[in-house]
Amino acid sequence: MNQWLDERLHISRLNDKFLRKAFPVHHSFFLGEITLFSLIILILTGILLALSYEPSNSLVVNSFDPGSADKPNLIPAAYHSALKINAMPFGDMLRRIHHWTANIMVAAAVIHMMRVYFTGAFKKPREINWWVGMLLLIFTAFTAVTGYALPYDNYAYNTLKVIYSIAASLPWVGEWVSQAAFAGKFPGDGLIPRVYGYHIMLLPGILLALTAAHMLIMIKQKHTQPQYAKRIAYKKIVGVPLMTQQTPIMLALTLVFAGIIVLFSAFIPVHPVEFFGPPSTTPINNIKPDWYLLWVFGVLAIIPSFEIEILGGVINSEFVGAIVVPTLAILAMFAVPMLDRSRDNLYYAENPTNYPVRLGAGVAFMALLIVWSVAGYKPELISAGILSNTNANAVLWIATFLIPALSYFAVQAIVRGIRSLRESDARDRAAFQAADD
């Protein structure tokens, strides 16, 4: 059969080109794979959910609690279908798996990027793949956000309202952009069909295309080699081939990973739509976005209020906090490969402690995002009496500058410590060697 296929599809060439791709043997190289497996699980569970979901915000009678004939209990069809999915055998489980996997996909992508950043794997020739990866991260976040709008409970409604108003806060074009993006004035009749279109067609399409590009470039350029490869065979590709050594490892990883997700989903509920209820005018106290957008939320919570009108366009705190600041953060991440001036191709993953400035900058950046995420808990910090209403903003703004700076210098100090230990080790070794001679 191999020969039959080979004569038609040139399997042997595919084998040489792709299936023999060498995978480095190191656990940190599994992070990208976990992101990929998450995407696959999300697509599979997403298809199953889409089969039972009704993308419409038209009002229908709640079949679980129909009310009376003269005063029927009307709820949006999308919310109703979410309740029906919960009532299906394993329906709630399916939603939980989808939700948990989405969170894990973002987390795995973030840790994967941290690995790439700290080991210098974004350097020449892999700059393009860093940028493709950035796009993947951004679109993953968009996909996740449009996803938690779909159950159209009160939580989703409030989330959508904030996203709509963030889009509307763009100066000059905001109103048009937000109406074009969300099918008219909020909440228009076409709102849920529109978001559904984004979540199941547009964004997954973009994600799949970018993932394909990401992996093709990776296969073409090869993985960065772990340090041990330098000692084993200098300037040679070291690793196990995709077929047949890496495949069972991948399968095992997939199964373990899927098992963990199912366990999580079985015991930790996510987003109980019944609890939030259908869209209403009653605000949800202390509503928060998912953890990966908490930093944007935090910036909005501590930014002072202002509004400037320039040539008919309004620039306000919301635009600066929710669009300008995140854009700057994302641009900084996009710029990472351009800050590197090396002309040679990078073969070997670098030891982060040999690049203290890069290491410190990365840690400081993450510290900044963590400080802003904590700022997202401002109301809770005030309620708990840790901060007061008058000093909360000042304290959080000082922390915004101070903590990243402190973490930068702490990293430098630690790196220096590690280096001096390493040097004293080398001295000892040299001394012993001298004594042996």
Report the distance separating Cα 129 and Cα 337, nearest Å: 10
Residue of 107, 162, 249, 270 interacting with other proteins (CB under 8 A) = 162
Please state the closest distance from residue 136 (CB atom) to other proteins, in A. 24
- Per-residue H/E/C for 7-57: HHHCHHHHHHHHHCCEECCCHHHHHHHHHHHHHHHHHHHHHHHHHHCCCCC
Residue of 26, 84, 161, 271 interacting with other proteins (CB under 8 A) = 161
- For residue 335, what are the contacts with CB-CB under 8 A and spacing of at least 6? none
Please state the closest distance from residue 142 (CB atom) to other proteins, in A. 16
Report the distance separating Cα 411 and Cα 395, nearest Å: 23
Residue of 51, 311, 312, 435 interacting with other proteins (CB under 8 A) = 312
Question: Is residue 305 a contact point for other proteins (CB under 8 A)?
Answer: yes
Report the distance separating Cα 78 and Cα 59, nearest Å: 9
Residue of 31, 121, 137, 168 interacting with other proteins (CB under 8 A) = 168
Question: Is residue 90 a contact point for other proteins (CB under 8 A)?
Answer: no
Residue 47 is encoded by which pair of tokens? Answer: 């298809």
Question: Is residue 274 a contact point for other proteins (CB under 8 A)?
Answer: no
CA dist 384 to 286, 318, 373, 376, Å?
13, 26, 17, 14
Q: Read off the DSSP letter of residue 400.
A: H
Question: Is residue 326 a contact point for other proteins (CB under 8 A)?
Answer: no
Residues in contact with other proteins, shown as a per-residue x/- string from 283 to 302 under the rule CB under 8 A: xxxxx---------x--xx-
**Closer residue to other proteins (CB): 12 or 286:** 286
Residue 135 is encoded by which pair of tokens? Answer: 């796009």
Please state the closest distance from residue 304 (CB atom) to other proteins, in A. 7
Long-range contacts of 424-429 (CB under 8 A, 24+ apart): none
Q: Which residues in 77-112 are b (16+ Cβ under 10 Å) and which e?
A: bbbbbbbebbeeeebbebbbbbbbbbbbbbbbbbeb
**Closer residue to other proteins (CB): 9 or 386:** 386
* Binding to other proteins in span 387-406, by CB under 8 A: 389
Report the distance separating Cα 275 and Cα 1, nearest Å: 57
Report the distance separating Cα 225 and Cα 26, nearest Å: 10
Question: Is residue 62 a contact point for other proteins (CB under 8 A)?
Answer: no
Question: Is residue 383 a contact point for other proteins (CB under 8 A)?
Answer: yes
**Closer residue to other proteins (CB): 281 or 342:** 281
**Closer residue to other proteins (CB): 307 or 425:** 307
Sign of the C-alpha dihedral computed for residues 126, 132, 138 and 141 taken in this order: negative
**Closer residue to other proteins (CB): 130 or 196:** 196
Q: Is 387:347 a contact under the CB 8 Å cutoff? A: no
Residue of 114, 202, 262, 382 interacting with other proteins (CB under 8 A) = 382
CB atoms within 10 A of CB 368: 19
Question: Is residue 141 a contact point for other proteins (CB under 8 A)?
Answer: no
Looking at 49-57, 139-147, 176-184, 346-354, which segment touches other proteins (CB under 8 A)? 176-184
Which helix (H) or strand (E) segment holds residue 111: the answer is: helix 91-118
**Closer residue to other proteins (CB): 28 or 62:** 62
Question: Is residue 303 a contact point for other proteins (CB under 8 A)?
Answer: yes
Residue of 307, 423, 425, 428 interacting with other proteins (CB under 8 A) = 307
Question: Is residue 273 a contact point for other proteins (CB under 8 A)?
Answer: no
* Binding to other proteins in span 351-380, by CB under 8 A: 378-379
Place of tokens 């065979």: 233
Residue of 53, 164, 198, 257 interacting with other proteins (CB under 8 A) = 164
Residue of 3, 68, 244, 281 interacting with other proteins (CB under 8 A) = 281
Question: Is residue 183 a contact point for other proteins (CB under 8 A)?
Answer: yes
Report the distance separating Cα 123 and Cα 336, nearest Å: 9
- For residue 318, what are the contacts with CB-CB under 8 A and spacing of at least 6? 165, 166, 169, 300
> Which residues make up the interface to other proteins (CB under 8 A)?
158, 161-162, 164-166, 168, 174-176, 179-181, 183-188, 190, 280-287, 297, 300-301, 303-307, 309, 312, 314, 316-318, 321, 378-379, 382-383, 389
